Amino acid sequence: MKHLIIIGNGIAGITTARHVRQQDSRVGITVISAESEHFYSRTALMYIYMGHMTYAHTKPYEDGFWAKNRIDLLQGYVEQVDTSTKRIRLADGKWLDYDVLVVATGSVSTTFDWPGLTASGVQGLYGLPDLERMEQFTTGIDRAVVVGGGLIGVELAEMLRSRHIAVTMLVRDPHYWSSTLPAEEGKLIGRHLLRHGIDLRLETELKEILAWRGPAGPRSADASGRVRAVVTKAGEEIPCQFVGLGIGVTPNVAFLKNSGIELGKGVLVNEYFETNVADVYAIGDCNEFRQPIVGTDGALRKPIEQIWYTSRMHGETLARTICGSRTAYRPGVFFNSAKFFDIEYQTYGTLNAQLTDDEQTYYWEHPAGEQCLRINYRKTDQSVVGIHAFGLRLRQAVCEHWIQQRTPVENVLSQFRQADFNPEFSEFYTDQLAGHTPAGSPNRRKGWFRRLFSTTH
């Protein structure tokens, strides 16, 4: 291999470049991105907007790092991939040859075919260009609407509220993030959003976006039309000067449609990140596994996992294959973390919004309504399969060990203090869990603490 080209300078692409260079000092490495000149932490975008960080603070490596490690950074947009000649064409017409190609192009914001979607001031939040547009369109405004109730939606809401902009959030489901959270957690977060001044509208869907009068008429959304309101399916018109789209992200693969590389929702790959074309790989947010990947805990992973740490693992694994040691991707216990204004969220293992036939659930909520814990476990052997924690900090290694070792839920509860990672002098909520056993346990005791309960759905 003489030349490795990586399209995309996010965590997946950059991790691949770094690890290939560590293992091969001779190969030429070119990383191409139209978004930014240097790699930055995408998860920190909201903190730039809120004034807690600057763009320079989000770059993990000094600018000289890349030349020192002979990793060439090229800012440009890839318009065409010709796999028959192993070349790519940039928007400026320049062609580049590759021996090995890695597609790590991430995602784009998901949209629907809403009228008025092209109005100025309507956008998602995924990358640096989105942040720059948001800065432009929210300066001096007083009202915004956020469409969608996932992690991106709540980030947009918090960003806007940090500048004292009134926010209405439209969520089509009966509680917040119902595709992921059980009802109790969704309602807890919903109450928290209300306490932070968010006008949360549940079971409310967007019908249309209205823009100021332009050449095409009163509902024009051409280049000169700035958003002025949204209309819900119930017919309510909500005035606003900005619309944030928080309904999720989609693999960024449109430029590959005529490349010969097989696509589903993302670039289709096997467990080695290999596409249907020799010497072409795909990793990170843009890939889609043809067959479900089984984690080391025996649980099936989703075919598309758009998560920062899994993208990093993709890059580390692929680098070994590229450098001659073909390695299958074998993730461990699933985990993720996020923040809903003041409430921190951690999730481990498999914990879906709806229980399977072989699952029971244990749920505890603090009377103040801003801390809760859910543990899902198997009916058959009582072993824990997933843990949700809101407003509690848990030790990742402990939670993963319990799930990996199929620890019975009664043992987990009696030992839960081992997982407590809350700050010094904070209340030990986990003490309230010790000594209590869930429904279905052979040693269930009477006289539960009144705030602990277990349900079977």
* Residue range 246-275: mean pLDDT, rounded: 96
Q: Alpha-carbon distance 308 to 14, whole Å?
A: 12
Taking CA atoms, 295 is separated from 271, 331, 334, in Å, by 12, 5, 8
**Nearest Cα to 225, choosing from 234, 216, 235, 236?**
216
Q: What percent of the chain has pLDDT over 70?
A: 90
- The CA radius of gyration of the chain, in Å to the nearest whole number, is 24
Q: Alpha-carbon distance 445 to 280, whole Å?
A: 58
The confidence score (pLDDT) of residue 427 equals 66
Contact (Cβ atoms closer than 8 angstroms) between residue 417 and residue 405? no
Supply the angle between the helices 183-195 and 151-161 in degrees, to the nearest 10. Answer: 10
The confidence score (pLDDT) of residue 124 equals 95
Supply the angle between the helices 11-23 and 308-322 in degrees, to the nearest 10. Answer: 30
Q: H helices of 196-287, where?
A: none
**Nearest Cα to 387, choosing from 372, 398, 376?**
376
**Nearest Cα to 327, choosing from 339, 342, 316, 312?**
316
Contact (Cβ atoms closer than 8 angstroms) between residue 217 and residue 115? no
Q: What would the pLDDT profile of 28-54 be if each residue is shown by its tens digit? A: 999 999 999 999 999 999 999 999 999
The confidence score (pLDDT) of residue 447 equals 32
- The whole-model pTM stands at 0.90
The confidence score (pLDDT) of residue 298 equals 87
Res. 453: pLDDT tops 80? no
Phi, psi of 24 (to 5 degrees): -140, 110
Res. 422: pLDDT tops 90? no
Q: Which domains does the chain have, with CATH numbers?
A: 3-108+250-322 (3.50.50.60), 122-247 (3.50.50.60), 335-455 (3.30.390)
**Residue 443 banded pLDDT, cuts 50, 70, 90:** very low
Identify the bridge partners of residue 122 per DSSP, sorted by sequence position: 243
**Residue 449 banded pLDDT, cuts 50, 70, 90:** very low
Q: What would the pLDDT profile of 293-310 be if each residue is shown by its tens digit? A: 998 888 899 999 999 999
Q: Alpha-carbon distance 157 to 232, whole Å?
A: 18
Q: What would the pLDDT profile of 3-32 be if each residue is shown by its tens digit? A: 999 999 999 999 999 999 999 999 999 999
Identify the bridge partners of residue 130 per DSSP, sorted by sequence position: none
Q: What would the pLDDT profile of 315-349 be if each residue is shown by its tens digit? A: 999 999 999 999 999 999 999 999 999 999 999 99
Q: What would the pLDDT profile of 343-399 be if each residue is shown by its tens digit? A: 999 999 999 999 999 999 999 999 889 999 999 999 999 999 999 999 999 999 999
Residue 94 tokens read as 């320049």
State the first-to-last Cα distance of the chain, in angstroms, to the nearest integer.
55
The confidence score (pLDDT) of residue 424 equals 66
* DSSP secondary structure, 157-182, as one string: HHHHHTTT-EEEEEE-SSSTTTTTS-
- Give me the amino acid identity at 210: L
The confidence score (pLDDT) of residue 426 equals 65
Res. 239: pLDDT tops 80? yes
Q: Alpha-carbon distance 88 to 123, whole Å?
A: 29
Residue bearing tokens 């995602």: 107
The confidence score (pLDDT) of residue 423 equals 73
Q: H helices of 198-276, where?
A: none
Rounded to the nearest integer, the mean pLDDT of the chain is 91
